[in-house]
Structure 1
């Protein structure tokens, strides 16, 4: 019976860059050449997302990354709810106008909203200095979201000179007020060992705080700690439960890891069909590792009806992202010309390219 190889995750600090997905360092499949762990970035990413009703367009590759903080208005303040409602519906100019009036009256949530709008050029020209000013006013008034957002700006040196010491204090204050994003990013700084002395146990505590609050990135990171015994006693059962929670929240890396655990019956009852379904989901979310694992199970027919054409389509797609696999290359070479043409056509259609250019 084929076993899927789990992803070995290097427990190192990988700070989030703005408008980029979290990347925990992954050891590639056995067929791939080992690569060193990724070097920590210098710009932690905020974890809040834009409202689904009005997704912001993806910035061009050369555009400046923006801090994203979605203020959570208290339900008993109809004025703040109105500002937030306008923001949710993408009516940024109206949200800006109303928030400006509310901020002058001392409304801290409106101040945070102004910082958000200035930082992300929503309804107003991007101005990090003004964003930092409004975030600071709200942070001084005790708003945890503003503290977090201002910390991100201070780390990145936007809206003023970089100030990592101030950023750490802001993250700590925000985390103390229960902000899971702040706890997660502060944990990364403790792992990095540059801004703060490296302390994996403190990092684990902060990750647990964020994970308990439902932060999927923290759940995934803490799962790797339990899996490898980093800063916590090794506990595969806890690791798998955290992977499951993060996977249910659509964390792609967790989907892959949890699928592998299900496939192999590691820390959870064996469920090959469920594993393949998760791998398929992650593959369609452009996880090259999932694409490689899905290709293997489809080609071998383990846990799913054998479909070499579909499996090798995913193999070709994974190769373009650098996830080669000699075993699957051999299977591709043995396909009939007609089936190989189908696999290549499927890969080209997925990639939106007339030519396959594997790395």
Structure 2
């Protein structure tokens, strides 16, 4: 069975970015671009997504878990509003003090906030054991975000021993209550087939739940399911709609795949100028696949005005990220020395090695 590569939202497994196929037919005088297809995802694979600095925590360095997104509390709980407001502004010490007071009064959202602050070292020294304690109290009170956060700690063994069975139960409870990140990660466990028996149809159902809730990673993953016919019937048009939605949320892998679909007219009307624009965006965001594809279209003038200097700049940049291309290397060697020097200088400037 052919399984697509998808991107993990949380720290469960390890994977590389998905590859994509750009079916561009260059002029007869130039070699054709190599086809790069979505390859089956190895059983233990997924790309780690980490957390972001204030005001919205996301990329916390290892070993911190990704920040749990806590929804704004109801307007009839002004104490919690103050907690969340301080959190959003990056005033973590204030958030900690206010949340402690509310948590003592039994507020589950404040308990989840304390778990978040302890887990990600925000305004307080990192303490996974205390984070786990607060997440558990909030989970017992029915908070779905706390259930997901506790599941991730149980899965990784932070704050206590590894307990994958308990982690799966918490994740399932959180997903049942509508938490999209829990549904997404549970889908990956069903796809992986190690912690849970492999069930691609159940995986697709959970991905659909998370995608419908607007989670870009799930939208991209479900798009690959529809593209490959994994757990669902093949449907190129539906795949493209999902890729478009994820692209609008700045999911880089989805941007690359959506650009390729538009370039080739697969599941959507052909729109090469829009495709090239999206490849430019993904290239600037660091996608080596997009950089390689953008190099081809610029060097060969396909869907855009030919610009060999800019095209070979992106080829050289992609090459440093492991996306070398022998055909483009040959074309590069045939350039006049002055043009090669310009492309190399542009690549060095982009890479910050000038």
TM-score between both structures, scaled by the size of structure 1? 0.88
Change in 2 beyond 3 A, CA 1:98/1:22:
farther
1:339 shift after superposition: 1.1
Change in 2 beyond 3 A, CA 1:112/1:45:
farther
Residues 208 and 218, structure 1, Cα contact 8 Å, conserved in 2: yes
Change in 2 beyond 3 A, CA 1:110/1:87:
same
Which digits, 9 at most, give the CA deviation of each residue in 1:288-319, with x for residues without a partner? 00000000000011111100000000000000
Q: Which residue of 1 aligns with 2:19?
A: 26
Between 337-346 and 291-300, report the one with greater CA deviation. 337-346
Which digits, 9 at most, give the CA deviation of each residue in 1:123-158, with x for residues without a partner? 000000000000000000000000000000011010
Change in 2 beyond 3 A, CA 1:51/1:88:
farther
Which digits, 9 at most, give the CA deviation of each residue in 1:232-281, with x for residues without a partner? 01111101110110111110000000000000111111110100010000
Q: Distance in 2 between matches of 1:135 and 1:260?
A: 42
Q: Distance in 1 between matches of 2:353 and 2:262?
A: 34
Residues 46 and 68, structure 1, Cα contact 8 Å, conserved in 2: no
Q: Distance in 1 between matches of 2:37 and 2:274?
A: 29
Q: Distance in 2 between matches of 1:39 and 1:232?
A: 20
1:75 shift after superposition: 3.0
Q: Distance in 2 between matches of 1:55 and 1:193?
A: 31
Q: Which residue of 2 aligns with 1:92?
A: 92
Change in 2 beyond 3 A, CA 1:45/1:112:
farther
Structure 2: 5+ residue runs without aligned partners? 23-32
Q: Distance in 2 between matches of 1:335 and 1:152?
A: 52
Between 9-18 and 273-282, report the one with greater CA deviation. 9-18
Residues 136 and 147, structure 2, Cα contact 8 Å, conserved in 1: yes
1:65 shift after superposition: 3.0
Q: Distance in 1 between matches of 2:242 and 2:41?
A: 23
Q: Does 1:314 align with 2:307?
A: no
Q: Does 1:143 align with 2:143?
A: yes
Q: Which residue of 2 aligns with 1:217?
A: 217
Residues 9 and 217, structure 2, Cα contact 8 Å, conserved in 1: no
SS of 2:126's equivalent in the other structure is coil
Change in 2 beyond 3 A, CA 1:203/1:55:
closer
1:81 shift after superposition: 1.3
Q: Which residue of 2 aligns with 1:235?
A: 235
1:12 shift after superposition: 5.5
- Which structure 2 residues correspond to residues 75-114 of structure 1 after superposition, within 5 A? 75-76=74-75, 77-114=77-114
Q: Distance in 2 between matches of 1:264 and 1:33?
A: 14
Count of matched residue positions in the alignment of Structure 1 and Structure 2: 342
Q: Which residue of 2 aligns with 1:11?
A: 4
Q: Distance in 1 between matches of 2:49 and 2:106?
A: 25
Which digits, 9 at most, give the CA deviation of each residue in 1:86-140, with x for residues without a partner? 0111110110011001100001000000000000000000000000000000000
Cα RMSD, aligned residues only: 2.6
Residues 7 and 217, structure 2, Cα contact 8 Å, conserved in 1: no
Residues 14 and 188, structure 1, Cα contact 8 Å, conserved in 2: no
Q: Which residue of 2 aligns with 1:350?
A: 350
- Which structure 2 residues correspond to residues 176-195 of structure 1 after superposition, within 5 A? 176-195=176-195
Q: Which residue of 1 aligns with 2:72?
A: 73
Q: Distance in 1 between matches of 2:258 and 2:184?
A: 21
1:31 shift after superposition: 4.2
Change in 2 beyond 3 A, CA 1:341/1:292:
same
SS of 2:346's equivalent in the other structure is helix
Q: Distance in 2 between matches of 1:248 and 1:143?
A: 29
Structure 1: 5+ residue runs without aligned partners? 1-8, 355-359
Change in 2 beyond 3 A, CA 1:45/1:290:
closer
Residues 18 and 65, structure 1, Cα contact 8 Å, conserved in 2: no
Q: Distance in 1 between matches of 2:45 and 2:223?
A: 24
Which digits, 9 at most, give the CA deviation of each residue in 1:317-357, with x for residues without a partner? 00011111122112211211111111101111111124xxx
Residues 5 and 39, structure 2, Cα contact 8 Å, conserved in 1: no
